[in-house]
A and B are shown apart, each in its own frame.
Chain A
Amino acid sequence: MSVNSTLEKICTSLGKNNKPTYVVMAIATVKGICRPLFTMMDKKENPDTKKYTAIREGLTEIIAIPVYWASGEIAGKLANVFAKPKNFMDKTLYKQYKNNMRTPEVVKAFEDAKVLAENNLPKMNKNLMFMGVCGAALFVIPALCSVAIKPIMSKIQKNNSKKSLDINTQQPVERPLNITYNPDFQKGENYKYLNSFYRGTNSGMKVGGV
Chain B
Amino acid sequence: MISAIANGLSNSTLANIAQNTTASVSIETTLKSIGRPGFILIDNDISPDTKKYAAAKEFLYQATCLAIYLALITPVFKKGAFALAKKHIFKNKPEFAKFKDANEYLDYYNLASKNILNRRATLIKDHSRNKFMHDGLREELTKNKTPEKYPLIKGTVELGSLIGSVLGLAILAPQISHHTIHPMLKLLGMEKKEKLQESVSENVASHKLDKEV
Interface residues of A (CB under 8 A from B): 4, 7-8, 10-16, 18-20, 22-24, 26-27, 30-31, 34-35, 38, 79, 82-84, 86-88, 91, 116, 120, 122-124, 126-130, 133-134, 137-138, 142
Residues of B within 8 A of A20 (CB): 18-19, 24
Interface residues of B in 61-119 (CB under 8 A from A): 85, 89-90
Q: With A15-B154, A82-B2 in contact, do A30 and B170 touch (Cβ < 8 Å)?
A: yes
Ranked 7 nearest A-B pairs via Cβ: A15-B155, A15-B151, A11-B155, A15-B154, A130-B18, A14-B155, A87-B6
B41: Cβ under 8 A from any A Cβ: no
Mask: chain B, 36-49; 1 = CB below 8 Å from A; 0 = not: 10010000000000
Task: Give chain A residues whose Cβ lies under 8 Å from the Cβ of B17.
Answer: 130
Nearest-neighbour CB distance to chain B for A143, whole angstroms, equals 10
Given A87-B2, A123-B10, the answer on whether A26 and B35 have CB atoms closer than 8 Å is no
- Residues in A whose Cβ lies below 8 Å from that of B141: none
Contact of B158 with A18 in the complex, beta carbons under 8 Å:
yes
Q: From residue B131, how far is it (CB to closest CB) to chain A in Å?
A: 22
**Chain A CB within 10 Å — which of B10, B17, B32, B150 has the most?**
B10
Q: How far is it, in angstroms, between the C-alpha of A180 and the C-alpha of B25 when the chains are bound?
A: 71
- B interface, CB within 8 angstroms of A: 2-3, 5-7, 9-12, 14-15, 17-21, 24-25, 27-28, 31-32, 35-36, 39, 85, 89-90, 149-156, 158-159, 161-162, 165-166, 169-171, 174-175
A203 to B185 CA separation, bound complex (whole angstroms): 80
**A23 vs B165: C-alpha distance in the bound complex, in angstroms?**
8
A138 to B27, CA, bound (A): 12
Q: What are some 14 contacts across the A-B interface (CB < 8 A)?
A: A11-B155, A11-B159, A16-B154, A18-B21, A26-B166, A31-B170, A35-B170, A79-B9, A82-B5, A87-B3, A91-B3, A123-B11, A127-B11, A133-B28
User: Are B6 and A23 closer than 8 Å at their CB atoms?
Assistant: no
Given A15-B152, A138-B31, 8 more A-B residue pairs with CB atoms under 8 Å apart are: A8-B152, A11-B156, A13-B155, A19-B19, A27-B170, A30-B166, A34-B170, A133-B28
The answer to whether A137 and B166 touch across the interface, beta carbons within 8 angstroms, is no
Task: Flag if B6 contacts A82 (CB, 8 Å).
Answer: yes
Decide yes or no: A138 and B10 within 8 Å by CB, A23-B165, A27-B166, A129-B18 being known contacts.
no
User: Pick the contact of B28 from A127, A128, A137 — CB < 8 Å?
Assistant: A137
Known: A26-B162, A88-B3, A123-B15. A15 touches B156 (CB 8 A): yes
Across-interface contacts of B154 in A (CB, < 8 A): 14-16, 18
**CB of A20 to closest CB in B, whole Å:** 5
Q: What residue in chain A is nearest B20 (Cβ atoms)?
A: A18
Measured in the bound complex, the distance between the Cα atoms of B18 and A106 in whole Å is: 34
Chain B residues whose CB sits within 8 angstroms of the CB of A84 once the complex forms = 6
A19 contacts across to B, CB distance below 8 A:
19
| Partner among B32, B153, B156, B162 whose Cβ is within 8 Å of the Cβ of A22 | B162
What residues of chain B lie closer than 8 Å to A23, measured between beta carbons? 21, 24-25, 161-162, 165-166
Known contacts A11-B152, A27-B170, A35-B174; is-contact A18 B19 (Cβ 8 Å)? yes
Partner of B18, one of A10, A30, A88, A127: A127
Contacts of B155 in A (CB 8 A): 10-16, 18
CA distance A22 to B28 in the complex (A): 13
In the complex, A4 Cα to B90 Cα: how many Å?
8
Residue of B15, B152, B175 touching A126 (CB-CB under 8 A): B15
Given the known interface contacts A15-B153, A38-B174, the answer about A138 and B32 at a Cβ–Cβ threshold of 8 Å is yes
A residues near B6, Cβ cutoff 8 Å: 82-84, 87-88, 120, 124
Q: Note all chain B residues with C-beta closer than 8 A to A38.
A: 174-175
**Chain B residues with Cβ under 8 A from A30's Cβ?**
166, 170-171
Min CB–CB distance B52 → chain A (angstroms): 19
